[in-house]
Every structure is written in structure tokens, then in C-alpha cells.
Amino acid sequence: MKVISIVVPCYNEEKSLPLFYEAVVKVAEEMKKDAEFEFVFVNDGSKDGTLNALRKLAHQDERVHYLSFSRNFGKEAAMFAGLEKASGDYVTTMDADLQDPPSLLKKMFSILEEGEYDCVATRSTNRKGYSFFRKLFTRWFYALIGKMSKTEMVPGARDFRLMTRQMVDAVLSMREYNRYTKGLFSFVGFDTCWIEFQLEERVAGKTNFNLRKLFAYAIEGIVAFSTTPLVLAGIIGLFFCFIAAILILVIIVKTLIWGDPVDGWPSLVCILFFLGGIQLFCTGIIGEYLAKTYLETKHRPIYIVKETEDSYREKKHEKERGTEE
């Protein structure tokens, strides 16, 4: 019988966790003839009672495993940690807020079982529950990165996908620090079947991604999967050299014909400011790549674990033994 591992990054999901667990257990029950389930929850440094909720779940259900980080490392790091811990034949990553419907797992599983595909990925046809600006921003981002990157980025793609062990191992073999998982999934290749679904609003709690975080995430994606901005800086430079050459010619000819009256100071200042701006912009782009390279060369761990269900159990036992003596 195949084992399906469900990896769930959780940040302040105290309220959604029990609902999520209940919903997936229901699906597991329906699929019990075909597959066994394993849960890998990753507590990404939550500030609410998420860890306690996870301890409780792990206590009552031995299929539940969890990792608890020493601080908030971000969803990408949490997914990586979960994928590393997962031991199933098929592995899926799901949000804890039930925006990814567990009922789809049945369909995804049966597609993989046919053997033609290595991965069943989902994309949402709508963005219910997200603000107008977020929708606009997302649309622009996908248009931009679609032009810039050779790695295909599917608009509306969720991180919710069921993958074979082989594909998971491929994703795990990329140990980069700046992880843009949507890109990594696409980068490893393999045959992916896309299915669509209607996105629901999150069941409880609120979104962890504000526009600032989302912007940083977008820059991460672009820098990780495209070097076009660097080339762009070069092209802008070339363009301005060309303009300068024409201007020099015009000025020489003008001076030869009409003499050299000193004027044009305001226009000069404008041009100076403009070019200064462009130069700083290009330096900024280079800086962004340099910064990422710098972080990458430090080889810092992607995440740090503070507690797992095993370490918690041991600690509890020790404490009990301590009180007995």
C-alpha cells in the first residue's frame, strides 16, 4: 500500500489546525483501501498556540509528526523541512488554512497511480479572499517573470501538489538558501499534470502575507530564476551611450555653425539627475544579486529545529521519571 505524506507549514494556525486535521482525516478514511497517510506539520516559529495544538495531535494520532522551528524561517524553509522529514511514496504540501481542498487528493492520487505523471499540481482559477491590490500585483508579477525566466511559472499555481518520491528527492537535492519553491518545482522538470480548482477563503485566522512580504517574495523569485535584470542594466547603459554619442555630434555641429553661447544649465541638471538615477538603479540590481550570492556562500542552515514529537516525548518521560525519584 502506498503512503502519502502531507507536509503542512504552519505559522499562527492555532485555529485552523484542528479543522484542517479533521478534514484530511476524513479524506484519509475514504481512501483507506488505497493509501495510508502520514502528517508532517512544521511549526514555523508561531507566536500563538500552534505548537500546543501540534503536541496534542501527535499525542492522539501516531500518524502525526511535527517539527518546530526555533524561530520564524518562512514558508519556503518550512516546506523544505517538511519534505525532508516526509517518508511517504507520494508527498504533498498543503496550506493549513484549508484553502487547498483535501478532497482533491483522491483525484491527484489516482492520476499518479496511473503512472503517466510524476506530479499532479494545482492552480486556482480565482483568487477569492485576496485584496484588489494583491490580485493586480500577482498578475503583473507573473507577466514579468514569464518574460524574464526560462523556468516556466504558471499563473495561479499553488504550492499544493502531489509528487512522487523521485521528484521530491530531486527538489531536496537543491539545497539553496534563497528558496523560491514554485520555481524549484518547475526547475526539476518531470511530467506534471495540472488540475484547476476554485479557491476558498481561509477557514480561520488571517493571511500571513502582506504586500511588503509579497514584494520581497516576488524579488526573490525573479533573482532566483532570472538574470535578465542584470542584462537589462547593460542594455540601459548601452542605450544611454548611444544617446550621448548623438548629443555630442549635435553639440559639435551646433557650436560650429552658431558659435558657443552658454545656456542650457537646467536641461543639463535634469540629464545629470536622470542618469544618476539610472546608474543607482542598475547598481541596485547588481547589489540584489550580490546580496543573494553573499547569503548563499555563507551556507547557513535553511532552518533550525527546536522540538519534534520524539524530543518532546522524551523530555516528558524524563520529567516524569524525575518526579517519581
Q: How far is the CB of 208 from ligand UDP (least distance, A)?
A: 3
Q: How far is the CB of 312 from ligand UDP (least distance, A)?
A: 19
Nearest Cα to Cα of residue 12 among 58, 39, 40, 44: 44
> Taking CB within 5 to 8 Å according to partner kind, which of Mg ion, ligand UDP, none is near residue 158?
none
Chain contacts with ligand UDP (rule: CB under 6 A):
9-11, 13, 44, 72, 74-75, 78, 95-97, 99, 202, 207-209
Instruction: Collapse the DSSP code of 7 into the 3-class scheme (helix H, G, I; strand E, B; otherwise coil) and give the result.
Output: strand
> Taking CB within 5 to 8 Å according to partner kind, which of ligand UDP, Mg ion, none is near residue 5?
none
Strand ranges across the sheet with 64-69: 192-197, 119-124, 157-164, 90-93, 2-10, 35-43, 64-69, 305-308
Q: How far is the CB of 50 from ligand UDP (least distance, A)?
A: 8
- Work out which of 43, 68, 92, 99 binds Mg ion, going by CB under 5 A: 99
Q: How far is the CB of 307 from ligand UDP (least distance, A)?
A: 16
Length of the chain in terms of residues written: 325
> Taking CB within 5 to 8 Å according to partner kind, which of Mg ion, ligand UDP, none is near residue 44?
ligand UDP
Q: Compute the distance between CA of residue 282 and CA of residue 288 in angstroms, rounded to an integer.
A: 10
Q: Does 97 bind Mg ion (CB under 5 A)?
A: yes
Residue 50 or 226: the one with the smaller Cβ distance to ligand UDP is 50
Q: How far is the CB of 308 from ligand UDP (least distance, A)?
A: 16
Instruction: Quickly list DSSP for 261-303.
Output: ----HHHHHHHHHHHHHHHHHHHHHHHHHHHHHHHHHTT--S-
> Taking CB within 5 to 8 Å according to partner kind, which of Mg ion, ligand UDP, none is near residue 11?
ligand UDP
Q: Compute the distance between CA of residue 82 and CA of residue 8 in angstroms, rounded to an integer.
A: 7
Q: Compute the distance between CA of residue 275 and CA of residue 277 in angstroms, rounded to an integer.
A: 5
Which chain residues interact with Mg ion by CB under 5 A?
A: 95, 97, 99, 202
